[in-house]
A and B are shown apart, each in its own frame.
Chain A
Amino acid sequence: MNRREAYEARQRKRALILATISTLLVVAILVIFVPMAPGWEQVRKSFFSGDVFVQSFPKMAKAFLLNIAIFAWSAPLVAIVGLLIALARSVRSPALFPLRIFGAAYVDIFRGLPVVLVIYLIGFGIPGLGLPRPYNSPYIWGTVALVLTYSAYVAEILRSGIESVHASQRAAGLSLGMSERSVMRDIVLPQAIRRVVPANMNMLIAMQKDVALLSFIGPVEILRQAGIFKSLFANFTPYVVAAAIFLVVTIPATRYADYLMNRQRDARS
């Protein structure tokens, strides 16, 4: 080890010790001072009741399966609709200009509305037109609302990916005699989609959480189940349970998205 390496090793060690001390200090302050707040006893009883946690957990975990199911059938639909809208916005032929207008209007409308509103309007509105069962199910129309909203975001992400592929590649493909369609399918899209994977991962995580909004129109998923327990126990612990269950799923997913993003950055530099 030369002098410089020894110096760097010392510096790293010093940084590690400092980081440990400051972290422990912050944790200690939280653990010692928060319980000293005058309302802590009340807050602990309402938000962190062990009894309520144990009683509500099994049903909450079961309700979360519904979130996962809704997410599982929505995500592929979002990918498909998002891609179609992105392609619609990227067409170049003048004859297909109405398609571009449609794509732009779609994105403007569904990106501009709160998800809850879309869920209410579609979830109660369309079945209200008189659809027979089972086609008026809140599961169907809630999913439609979710897919419409999120595919607008995903379409924009994909479009940014498509535009990030340099025009010279398209020109090169066309000059080799490839069709416009084949250039898009074989040259542009494979690169575009790969580039926006991390951004789309974030979208998936956001949608996974927003599945809970379907509870507004009837389905008893985890947020609603927490609300039922809250009102039965007059206690907010079920919400903490729900938060914990969500984190178990979303933290690994966000870490994975970060990992993908870092890997991409490293590959580029």
Chain B
Amino acid sequence: MSSFQLKAFGFGTVLAAIAALSTPTYAMDACATGKTITEGKLTIATGNPAYYPWVHDDTPQSGKGFEAAVGYAVADKMGFAKDDVVWVRTSFDEAIQPGAKNFDFNMQQYSITEERERVVDFSDPYYAAPAAILVRQKTVDAGLKPEMAALKALKWGVAQATTALPVVTQTIQPESDPLFYDDTANAVAAMQADQIDAAIFDLPTALYLSAVVLDDGVVLGQFPAAQSDNPDQFGMLMAEGNPIKECVDAALAELKTDGSLTEIEAEWLQAATNVPLVK
């Protein structure tokens, strides 16, 4: 009892000390000063809608969901209070079109690629996503195993061009042409209509779809990162030459060093240890 009180007391004191210390520190941290689109505010863009498990309930302000949590953690390291974070929505195209941007950085599972780097800037990666295969239970019942030879005979669907396209066209090389969809919802509709057997998503999305959206969905397997030449890494997208990049990268580096990024990942992205590797 007394030890608990002592602990609580100690913890509270530490918190108070941190708060007292950090307020002036924030004010002195000049990295992001004058570099955001609205002075004193950090504007983060997300998708419309933003999908679970990246953002819960399409409300990034709650800080719930992996990207929402990372957004607030980065903002904190950059010296912005929770109230100073403003969320806006953009589509993929709005984010890459030329001209002024309405966000400081944009998080919606943007894979970092060389081609994209020519038009926009990316922060250092905040997540490396393994590609995973989503199928329906009846396909598994029919005897499908996560083995490459069996995968070639399936009818494939692709919804995320950067994550899934190289896996399907280069790694799997299916016998029939894959079909393409605008978003995960359409790919799932096609799966329900039995127009495709299987689709590739990043693992967290695949787990979510199998658990919540597709009644008889099963995550058949995942591809080990080593198997793809170019593991799919998510970065925060920024206007090219945005001076805030160094501040964001510094904040991410801090989050990686102190282990908070791993903690956030453990908290918001389901543990995926029981998903078998594709042979």
Contact = CB atoms under 8 A, between A and B. Distances in A.
Interface of A: 39, 42-43, 45-47, 124, 127-128, 130-133, 136-138, 215-220, 224, 227-228, 230-236
A227 B195 CA distance: 21
Contacts of B190: 124, 138, 217-218
A216 B162 contact: no
29 contacts: A39-B98, A42-B99, A43-B99, A45-B98, A45-B118, A47-B98, A124-B189, A127-B195, A128-B189, A133-B194, A138-B190, A138-B195, A217-B186, A217-B190, A218-B179, A218-B180, A218-B196, A219-B180, A220-B179, A228-B165, A230-B93, A231-B92, A232-B115, A232-B161, A232-B162, A233-B116, A234-B120, A235-B96, A236-B93
A236 B115 CA distance: 12
A233 B162 CA distance: 10
Interface centre among B98, B181, B186, by most A CB within 10 Å?
A: B98
Given A218-B179, A218-B180, A220-B179, A46 B98 contact: yes
A244 to B, nearest CB: 19
B116 A234 contact: yes
B258 interface: no
A46 B119 contact: yes
Given A216-B181, A234-B113, A235-B115, 14 more contacts: A39-B98, A39-B99, A43-B99, A47-B98, A124-B186, A136-B194, A215-B180, A218-B181, A218-B196, A232-B113, A232-B115, A232-B162, A235-B118, A235-B119
B272 interface: no
Closest 7 A-B residue pairs measured CB to CB?
A218-B179, A42-B98, A234-B116, A127-B193, A231-B161, A128-B193, A233-B115
A218 B179 CA distance: 5
B182 A137 contact: no
Given A128-B193, A218-B157, A232 B186 contact: no
B119 A137 contact: no
Contacts of A124: 186, 189-190, 192-193
A220 B195 CA distance: 14
Contacts of B119: 45-46, 233-235
A231 B120 CA distance: 12
Contacts of B246: none
Contacts of B96: 46, 234-236
A215 B99 CA distance: 28
Contacts of A128: 189, 192-193
B216 interface: no
